[in-house]
């Protein structure tokens, strides 16, 4: 369970986090940066009934342009204002690696979750989280994979990283933490599939696990397709993730993900008979 505002977000079944990238250069989700485009994207996303909406204003894809802090804030502030006005009851996450952006989002829009792809590289993030007690998504970042080789024990490295960072977070009083193995962030295709195939190994950490695999290059490269063509591959990979214990799917396509969860639940119900 996670403490979200005045209620608890439970994991009785896997949750779906819908992606709204308020950027002009997202590889698979272009909300745009004008108010009309952002509104349309948020309405479209909300009407598919995600459990959480994740809003980001700075591209973190390979080769993406890292915008200034103020540009990122102007983008995400538009998105947060719209979703809070139109859909105030949907939990909202902000996708940012900057502690200052996280702090402003908490203070001005009471965001429910911080999704940080840097894995706590901004040390000030600990102070922000300590003050606000906002749930935090801890991602295994590109920087932690620099020394990896073909012989690296990927799962042991992931567990060691997460355990170290979880200890830091707990020291600062941050109790509500979700971990994300960072599929696609600095890993080879083979390493990504190793993680996906052994995802249940992360259960040893006793925290919820988020998987963001939607339309990523680890799917597109082997099939030689573009992200726009990768829905079937995404659904297949998400099925594997769910069967290995994923608690949250971070997705561009909410309805297929929710249907996948329903089928896995049906299968689990039959197994219990």
Tens-digit pLDDT profile for residues 130-146? 999 999 999 999 999 99
Measured torsion, CA atoms of residues 168, 170, 175, 181, in degrees rounded to the nearest 10: 40
* pLDDT value at 31 more than 70: no
H/E element holding 251? strand 248-251
Residue 6 confidence (pLDDT): 63
pTM over 0.85: yes
Other CB atoms within 10 Å distance of the CB of residue 210: 26
Which pLDDT tens digit goes with each residue over 147-167? 899 899 999 999 999 999 999
- The pLDDT value recorded for residue 204 is 97
pLDDT at 58: 85
**β 177-180/52-56 pair status:** unpaired
**pLDDT (tens digit, 9 = 90+) per residue, 187-242?**
999 999 999 999 999 999 999 999 999 999 999 999 999 999 999 999 999 999 99
pLDDT over threshold 60, residue 248:
yes
Residue 80 above 90 pLDDT? yes
Q: d(Cα 7, Cα 11) in Å, to the nearest integer?
A: 13
| Element of type H or E holding 211 | strand 210-211
CA separation for the pair 99, 17 (Å, rounded): 21
Nearest-angstrom CA–CA distance, 17 and 253: 10
Q: Mean pLDDT over residues 11-34, rounded?
A: 77
Cα separation, 178 vs 70, in Å, equals: 27
For 98, list phi and psi in degrees, rounded to 5: -100, 125
């Amino acid at each position: 369970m996670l403490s979200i505002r005045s209620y608890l977000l439970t994991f009785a079944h896997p949750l779906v986090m819908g992606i709204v990238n308020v950027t002009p250069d997202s590889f698979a989700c272009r909300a745009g940066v004008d108010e009309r485009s952002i509104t349309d994207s948020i309405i479209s996303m909300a009407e598919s009934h995600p459990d959480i909406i994740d809003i980001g204003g700075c591209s973190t894809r390979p080769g993406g342009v890292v915008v200034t802090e103020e540009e990122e804030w102007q983008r995400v502030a538009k998105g947060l204002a719209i979703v809070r006005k139109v859909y105030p009851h949907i939990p909202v996450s902000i996708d940012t690696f900057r502690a200052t952006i996280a702090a402003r989002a908490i203070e001005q829009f009471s965001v429910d979750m911080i999704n940080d792809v840097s894995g706590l590289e901004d040390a000030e993030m600990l102070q922000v989280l300590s003050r606000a007690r906002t749930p935090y998504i801890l991602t295994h970042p590109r920087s932690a994979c620099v020394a990896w080789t073909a012989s690296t024990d990927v799962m042991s490295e992931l567990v060691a990283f997460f355990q170290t960072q979880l200890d830091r977070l707990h020291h600062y009083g941050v109790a509500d933490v979700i971990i994300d193995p960072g599929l696609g962030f600095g890993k080879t295709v083979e390493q990504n599939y190793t993680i996906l195939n052994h995802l249940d190994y992360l259960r040893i950490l006793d925290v919820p696990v988020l998987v963001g695999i939607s339309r990523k290059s680890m799917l597109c490269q082997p099939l030689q397709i573009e992200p726009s063509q990768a829905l079937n591959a995404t659904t297949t990979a998400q099925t594997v993730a769910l069967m290995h214990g994923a608690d949250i799917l971070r997705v561009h396509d909410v309805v297929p993900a929710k249907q996948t969860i329903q089928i896995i639940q049906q299968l689990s119900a039959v197994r219990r008979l």
